[in-house]
Amino acid sequence: MISQNETILIVEDDSQIHNFIAYILKQEGFSYFIAKSGQIAMTTLISQKIDLMILDMGLPDLDGMEIIKKVRSWSEMPIIVVSARDQDKDKVSALDAGADDYLTKPFSAAELMARIRVMIRHLNKTAKPPIQPIISVGDLSIDFEKRQVFLNGEALHVTPLEYNLLGLFFRNIGKVLTTQFILKEIYGIGYGTDTQALRALMAGLRRKIEPVPAKPRYILTEIGVGYRLVDE
């Protein structure tokens, strides 16, 4: 068993689910705390050093959104939201409030572990201060100093908007970015909610970086939520 340094907080009222998550985490060598209610979660968050939180949105006492907002007021710890609600709006508002990723019940152990690993890696990377000038994912890389994009080692011509979009994804590898967040970052605050331009921009970018745009390798579509740049 590999021992991990990170401590994970599981906030979940359903005992079957938290037992299952706890089991996986134990297998992977993480230490963890279980909070069966929002109140307990808040106490644990204050009293313990927590590196990552897995948060169920349907808690009996506190609203998940509130926990996210409170935690975000003092910590940047990764938050993975688990939700039985298949309403995209809840996911989107959780992500917009500061959650980093989401899983919809039922989810597989492999899925959960993959998300946790990405978050932990992310955590370690951002801990090392200056952001590396060149970041790669697969055959795709971006050079932040030269403002250039490379595919298979060859320079790729992208428009300034496409570069900004790609840059945004590379700064948030593995993280789900909501459509609203991207709109705000790319087009500025006050742009509104017209997603049509973003869809077209994304399609143009995909035609340059993806061999088959309908089967993307790099930037995946999270239907009804946003996009995510895969982590390797």
Binding site for other proteins (CB under 8 A): 14, 16-17, 19-21, 23-24, 58, 84, 86, 88, 105-110, 194-196, 199-200, 202-204, 206-207, 212-216, 220-224
Q: Which is nearer to other proteins, 60 or 153 (CB)?
A: 60
Smallest distance from other proteins to CB 27, Å: 8
- ∠ CA 29-177-93, nearest 5°, is 90
Closest approach, Cβ 100 to other proteins, in A, equals 20
Using alpha carbons, list the distances in angstroms from residue 39 to 72, 80, 149, 179, 180: 16, 18, 47, 32, 31
In the complex with other proteins, the residue whose CB is nearer, 29 or 133, is: 29
**Least distance to other proteins from the beta carbon of 144, Å?**
27
HEC sequence for 125-191: HHHCCCCCCEEEECCEEEECCCCEEEECCEEECCCHHHHHHHHHHHCCCCCEEEHHHHHHHHHCCCC
Q: Is residue 222 within 8 Å of 228, Cβ to Cβ?
A: yes
Residues 6+ apart with CB under 8 A from 12: 18, 21, 34, 35, 36, 54, 56, 82
CB of 93 to other proteins, least distance (A): 14
**Containing H/E element for 82?**
strand 79-83
Residue number with CB closer to other proteins (118 or 135): 118
Instruction: Give the nearer residue to other proteins in terms of CB position, either 151 or 230.
Output: 230
Least Å distance between CB 15 and other proteins? 9
In terms of CB distance, is 58 or 98 closer to other proteins?
58
Q: Which CB sits closer to other proteins, 98 or 213?
A: 213
H or E segment at 68?
helix 64-72
* Whether 201 contacts 207, CB under 8 Å: no
Least Å distance, CB 19 to other proteins, is: 8
